[in-house]
Protein backbone atom coordinates (compact mmCIF):
# COMPACT_ATOMS: atom_id res chain seq x y z
CA UNK A 1 0.00 0.00 0.00
CA UNK A 2 2.80 2.40 0.92
CA UNK A 3 4.69 1.55 -2.29
CA UNK A 4 1.60 2.15 -4.43
CA UNK A 5 1.03 5.47 -2.59
CA UNK A 6 4.62 6.44 -3.50
CA UNK A 7 3.98 5.64 -7.17
CA UNK A 8 0.83 7.79 -7.02
CA UNK A 9 2.93 10.71 -5.76
CA UNK A 10 4.99 10.73 -8.98
CA UNK A 11 2.31 12.41 -11.16
CA UNK A 12 1.89 15.15 -8.53
CA UNK A 13 5.65 15.71 -8.43
CA UNK A 14 5.71 15.94 -12.25
CA UNK A 15 2.71 18.32 -12.25
CA UNK A 16 4.29 20.74 -9.75
CA UNK A 17 7.63 20.66 -11.59
CA UNK A 18 5.89 21.23 -14.94
CA UNK A 19 3.93 24.26 -13.70
CA UNK A 20 7.04 25.69 -12.03
CA UNK A 21 7.36 28.83 -9.96
CA UNK A 22 8.35 29.25 -6.32
CA UNK A 23 5.30 27.76 -4.62
CA UNK A 24 4.93 24.81 -7.00
CA UNK A 25 8.64 23.99 -6.64
CA UNK A 26 8.21 23.97 -2.85
CA UNK A 27 5.25 21.59 -3.24
CA UNK A 28 7.32 19.39 -5.57
CA UNK A 29 10.08 19.23 -2.93
CA UNK A 30 7.53 18.34 -0.23
CA UNK A 31 6.14 15.54 -2.42
CA UNK A 32 9.64 14.23 -3.17
CA UNK A 33 10.65 14.25 0.52
CA UNK A 34 7.38 12.54 1.50
CA UNK A 35 7.96 9.85 -1.14
CA UNK A 36 11.55 9.34 0.06
CA UNK A 37 10.37 8.98 3.66
CA UNK A 38 7.71 6.43 2.66
CA UNK A 39 10.46 4.50 0.86
CA UNK A 40 12.37 4.10 4.14
CA UNK A 41 9.22 3.37 6.18
CA UNK A 42 8.01 0.83 3.67
CA UNK A 43 11.22 -1.25 3.90
CA UNK A 44 11.35 -1.05 7.70
CA UNK A 45 7.71 -2.11 8.10
CA UNK A 46 8.10 -5.00 5.62
CA UNK A 47 11.20 -6.31 7.42
CA UNK A 48 9.78 -5.83 10.92
CA UNK A 49 6.47 -7.53 10.15
CA UNK A 50 8.07 -10.07 7.78
CA UNK A 51 5.61 -9.07 5.05
CA UNK A 52 7.99 -8.96 2.09
CA UNK A 53 5.88 -9.89 -0.94
CA UNK A 54 6.61 -10.59 -4.61
CA UNK A 55 4.49 -7.57 -5.58
CA UNK A 56 6.44 -5.38 -3.15
CA UNK A 57 9.78 -6.60 -4.50
CA UNK A 58 8.54 -5.80 -8.03
CA UNK A 59 6.96 -2.39 -7.32
CA UNK A 60 9.45 -0.91 -4.84
CA UNK A 61 12.36 -0.38 -7.29
CA UNK A 62 9.93 0.84 -9.96
CA UNK A 63 8.61 3.53 -7.59
CA UNK A 64 12.18 4.66 -6.83
CA UNK A 65 13.22 4.72 -10.49
CA UNK A 66 10.13 6.66 -11.59
CA UNK A 67 10.59 9.39 -8.99
CA UNK A 68 14.37 9.78 -9.30
CA UNK A 69 14.35 9.62 -13.11
CA UNK A 70 11.55 12.22 -13.31
CA UNK A 71 13.49 14.62 -11.09
CA UNK A 72 16.78 14.34 -13.00
CA UNK A 73 15.04 14.64 -16.39
CA UNK A 74 13.39 17.88 -15.28
CA UNK A 75 16.72 19.22 -14.00
CA UNK A 76 18.26 18.87 -17.47
CA UNK A 77 15.55 21.21 -18.76
CA UNK A 78 16.66 23.96 -16.34
CA UNK A 79 19.85 25.49 -17.85
CA UNK A 80 20.80 27.49 -14.74
CA UNK A 81 21.28 24.23 -12.78
CA UNK A 82 24.04 23.10 -15.16
CA UNK A 83 23.13 19.40 -15.00
CA UNK A 84 24.13 17.81 -18.32
CA UNK A 85 22.03 15.26 -20.21
CA UNK A 86 24.89 12.73 -20.28
CA UNK A 87 24.83 12.56 -16.46
CA UNK A 88 21.16 11.66 -16.43
CA UNK A 89 21.64 9.17 -19.27
CA UNK A 90 24.25 7.32 -17.15
CA UNK A 91 21.94 7.32 -14.11
CA UNK A 92 18.97 5.95 -16.08
CA UNK A 93 21.10 3.53 -18.16
CA UNK A 94 22.40 1.92 -14.98
CA UNK A 95 18.81 1.21 -13.92
CA UNK A 96 18.00 -0.41 -17.28
CA UNK A 97 21.13 -2.58 -17.10
CA UNK A 98 20.54 -3.75 -13.53
CA UNK A 99 16.84 -4.35 -14.25
CA UNK A 100 17.93 -6.56 -17.17
CA UNK A 101 20.35 -8.37 -14.87
CA UNK A 102 17.57 -8.97 -12.35
CA UNK A 103 15.34 -10.33 -15.15
CA UNK A 104 18.03 -12.84 -16.15
CA UNK A 105 18.46 -13.77 -12.48
CA UNK A 106 14.70 -14.27 -12.05
CA UNK A 107 14.61 -16.67 -15.02
CA UNK A 108 17.35 -18.70 -13.32
CA UNK A 109 15.68 -18.50 -9.89
CA UNK A 110 18.47 -16.35 -8.48
CA UNK A 111 17.55 -13.60 -6.03
CA UNK A 112 19.61 -10.39 -6.29
CA UNK A 113 19.19 -8.46 -3.03
CA UNK A 114 20.00 -4.78 -2.70
CA UNK A 115 23.57 -4.33 -1.50
CA UNK A 116 25.38 -1.44 0.16
CA UNK A 117 26.59 0.03 -3.13
CA UNK A 118 23.00 0.20 -4.39
CA UNK A 119 21.80 1.82 -1.17
CA UNK A 120 24.61 4.40 -1.27
CA UNK A 121 23.74 5.08 -4.91
CA UNK A 122 20.09 5.71 -4.10
CA UNK A 123 20.93 7.82 -1.04
CA UNK A 124 23.40 9.96 -3.02
CA UNK A 125 20.79 10.55 -5.75
CA UNK A 126 18.12 11.52 -3.22
CA UNK A 127 20.48 13.96 -1.49
CA UNK A 128 21.49 15.51 -4.84
CA UNK A 129 17.85 15.92 -5.87
CA UNK A 130 16.89 17.58 -2.57
CA UNK A 131 19.91 19.93 -2.66
CA UNK A 132 19.24 20.82 -6.31
CA UNK A 133 15.57 21.48 -5.64
CA UNK A 134 16.45 23.74 -2.70
CA UNK A 135 18.78 25.69 -5.03
CA UNK A 136 16.05 25.87 -7.68
CA UNK A 137 13.60 27.19 -5.07
CA UNK A 138 16.20 29.78 -3.99
CA UNK A 139 16.59 30.97 -7.59
CA UNK A 140 12.83 31.28 -7.92
CA UNK A 141 12.54 33.08 -4.58
CA UNK A 142 15.13 35.67 -5.68
CA UNK A 143 13.20 36.18 -8.91
CA UNK A 144 9.70 36.22 -7.42
CA UNK A 145 10.37 38.33 -4.33
CA UNK A 146 13.38 40.45 -5.40
CA UNK A 147 13.12 40.47 -9.18
CA UNK A 148 16.65 39.06 -9.52
CA UNK A 149 17.35 36.60 -12.35
CA UNK A 150 20.32 34.18 -12.10
CA UNK A 151 22.33 36.50 -14.39
CA UNK A 152 21.42 39.52 -12.28
CA UNK A 153 22.53 37.66 -9.15
CA UNK A 154 25.95 37.00 -10.65
CA UNK A 155 26.37 40.68 -11.57
CA UNK A 156 24.88 42.04 -8.36
CA UNK A 157 26.91 44.72 -6.61
CA UNK A 158 26.97 42.99 -3.24
CA UNK A 159 29.75 40.41 -2.96
CA UNK A 160 27.71 38.06 -0.77
CA UNK A 161 25.06 37.66 -3.47
CA UNK A 162 27.70 37.07 -6.14
CA UNK A 163 29.36 34.39 -3.97
CA UNK A 164 26.00 32.77 -3.21
CA UNK A 165 25.17 32.77 -6.92
CA UNK A 166 28.51 31.10 -7.72
CA UNK A 167 27.88 28.35 -5.15
CA UNK A 168 24.30 27.86 -6.35
CA UNK A 169 25.48 27.73 -9.96
CA UNK A 170 28.20 25.11 -9.43
CA UNK A 171 26.78 22.88 -6.70
CA UNK A 172 24.13 20.97 -8.75
CA UNK A 173 26.74 20.00 -11.38
CA UNK A 174 29.37 18.75 -8.93
CA UNK A 175 26.84 17.09 -6.64
CA UNK A 176 25.43 15.20 -9.63
CA UNK A 177 28.97 14.17 -10.64
CA UNK A 178 29.31 12.52 -7.21
CA UNK A 179 25.96 10.75 -7.68
CA UNK A 180 27.06 9.59 -11.15
CA UNK A 181 30.26 8.12 -9.67
CA UNK A 182 28.25 6.17 -7.06
CA UNK A 183 25.89 5.07 -9.84
CA UNK A 184 28.71 3.76 -12.03
CA UNK A 185 30.39 2.03 -9.08
CA UNK A 186 27.12 0.37 -8.04
CA UNK A 187 26.37 -0.81 -11.59
CA UNK A 188 29.86 -2.24 -12.13
CA UNK A 189 29.73 -3.88 -8.69
CA UNK A 190 26.47 -5.69 -9.51
CA UNK A 191 27.69 -6.80 -12.94
CA UNK A 192 30.97 -8.18 -11.58
CA UNK A 193 29.25 -9.89 -8.66
CA UNK A 194 26.69 -11.63 -10.86
CA UNK A 195 28.66 -11.90 -14.12
CA UNK A 196 28.13 -15.68 -14.22
CA UNK A 197 24.50 -15.00 -15.07
CA UNK A 198 25.57 -13.74 -18.50
CA UNK A 199 27.03 -17.10 -19.47
CA UNK A 200 24.81 -19.81 -20.85
CA UNK A 201 26.00 -22.21 -18.13
CA UNK A 202 25.88 -19.60 -15.33
pLDDT value of position 160: 60
pLDDT value of position 156: 61
pLDDT value of position 9: 92
Point out the residues of the chain with pLDDT beneath 70.
43, 46-47, 50-58, 152-162, 200-202
pLDDT value of position 198: 75
pLDDT value of position 114: 72
pLDDT value of position 154: 66
Closest-CA residue to 74 (of 145, 111, 20): 20
Specify whether the CB–CB gap between 154 and 49 falls below 8 A. no
pLDDT value of position 186: 92
Q: Which residues lie below 8 Å from residue 141, measured CB to CB, with a gap of 6+?
A: 22
What is the domain range of residue 122?
Answer: 1-200
CA 106 to chain centre: 25
Q: Alpha-carbon torsion 50, 190, 84, 66, what sign?
A: negative
pLDDT value of position 118: 85
Q: How many domains does the chain have?
A: 1
d(CA 16, CA 70): 12
pLDDT value of position 54: 65
Specify whether the CB–CB gap between 6 and 35 falls below 8 A. yes
Amino acid sequence: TITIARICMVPFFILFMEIGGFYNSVLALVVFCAASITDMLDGQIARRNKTVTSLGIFLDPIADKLLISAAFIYFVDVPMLGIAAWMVIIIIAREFIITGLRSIAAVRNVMIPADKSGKFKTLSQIIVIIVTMVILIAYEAFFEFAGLTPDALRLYDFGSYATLSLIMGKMPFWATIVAVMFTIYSGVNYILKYRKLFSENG
